[in-house]
Amino acid sequence: MNQPFRTTGSLRFGWEKTRANSGLLFKVVLMFAVVVIVQSIAQTLISNQVIAVLAACIIGIVEIVFGVGATVISLKLARGERAAFSDIIPPWRITVRYVLASLISGFYIALGAGIPIGLGALIVLTYPSLGSGGLVGVFLLMALGVSIGVYLLLRYLMVKIAAVDGEIGVFDTLRKSTRLSRGVKWSLFWFLLALILLNIIGALLFFVGLLITVPVTLIAFAHVYLALCGPSGEGIIE
């Protein structure tokens, strides 16, 4: 099957869109920076545990809402639609669907990876004097857990962006992500690795680089999502 996207092309697309919409996107990134600063100040100044927990919950909710809004904005820009800074606060139903889909997919990933890894850890704790053969078996068991976790991560990689794209059910987002990732998981793996490395470089540049790398990766991700959806918007069907 022909690959519907290329990592370099998607990153180039993200860069071009970021440059064309720099004012809007820098505002979005700065909003996240403000939240981080407020969170740091709150942790330093608030000594009352109840108030500290309440403040952390409020800040966490704000971060989630802004995260959904940033996804909406990146998807609109990738589609060539007009996006506004007001989109940073999306409709509540989209936010709820985004959160539920994220929690369910995260549970599946953690469960799939956690069972083999937990079993391996339990064996080591129960039998601390394992021989070389036993240690190899435990290593293979844990490697299996990591492999399952990575596989499920790639399978559900598009869940969050699917949750903000149209009126579909929570479990439909998981099914759509599964369909979109079919046959392209290796391409998605290298793409995700490129995004991570790009943002690491941005963070190393005194975090100023994140003003560029974060919007570039957001729009590049939306571009890959749309490429996988294809003209019909339904994704790859074999």
Mean pLDDT of 56-67: 92
Measure CA 88 to chain center: 17
Q: What is the pLDDT of residue 63?
A: 92
Q: What is the pLDDT of residue 51?
A: 86
Q: What band does 71 get if pLDDT is binned at 50, 70 and 90?
A: very high
Tell me if the pTM is above 0.85: yes
127 HSE (CA, 13 A, CB side): 11
Q: Which residues are CB-neighbours of 97 under 8 A, at least 6 positions away?
A: 163, 164, 169, 170, 173
Query: How does DSSP assign 68-94, residue by residue?
Result: HHHHHHHHHHHHT----GGGGS--HHH
Q: What band does 1 get if pLDDT is binned at 50, 70 and 90?
A: very low
Helices (H), the chain: 7-20, 22-45, 49-79, 92-126, 132-155, 159-163, 170-181, 185-204, 210-229
Measure CA 145 to chain center: 20
Measure the CA–CA gap between 231 and 238, rounded to whole angstroms: 15
Q: What is the pLDDT of residue 134?
A: 82
Q: What is the pLDDT of residue 115?
A: 94
Measure the CA–CA gap between 63 and 76, rounded to whole angstroms: 20
Mean pLDDT of 1-19: 87
pLDDT by residue (tens digit) across 159-208? 999 999 988 999 999 999 999 999 999 999 999 999 999 999 998 887 77
* Structure-model confidence comparison of residues 59 and 130, the more confident one: 59
Mean pLDDT of all residues belonging to the chain: 90
Measure the CA–CA gap between 2 and 218, rounded to whole angstroms: 24
Q: What is the pLDDT of residue 152?
A: 97
- For the chain, what are the domain ranges? 7-229
Amino acid (1-letter code) at residue 12: R
- Cα–Cα distances in angstroms (integers) from residue 112 to residues 109, 129, 185, in the given order: 5, 27, 17
> Is residue 26 over pLDDT 60?
yes
Q: What is the pLDDT of residue 236?
A: 39
Q: Which residues are CB-neighbours of 153 under 8 A, at least 6 positions away?
A: 109
Q: What is the pLDDT of residue 158?
A: 96
> Is residue 128 over pLDDT 80?
no
> Is residue 233 over pLDDT 70?
no
| 207 burial via Cβ count (<10 Å: 0-12, 13-18, 19+) | exposed
Measure the CA–CA gap between 176 and 78, rounded to whole angstroms: 19
| 113 burial via Cβ count (<10 Å: 0-12, 13-18, 19+) | buried
Q: What band does 27 get if pLDDT is binned at 50, 70 and 90?
A: very high
> Which of 188, 100, 61, 109 minimizes the C-alpha distance to 69?
61
Measure the CA–CA gap between 78 and 225, rounded to whole angstroms: 10
Q: What is the pLDDT of residue 151?
A: 97
> Is residue 19 over pLDDT 50?
yes
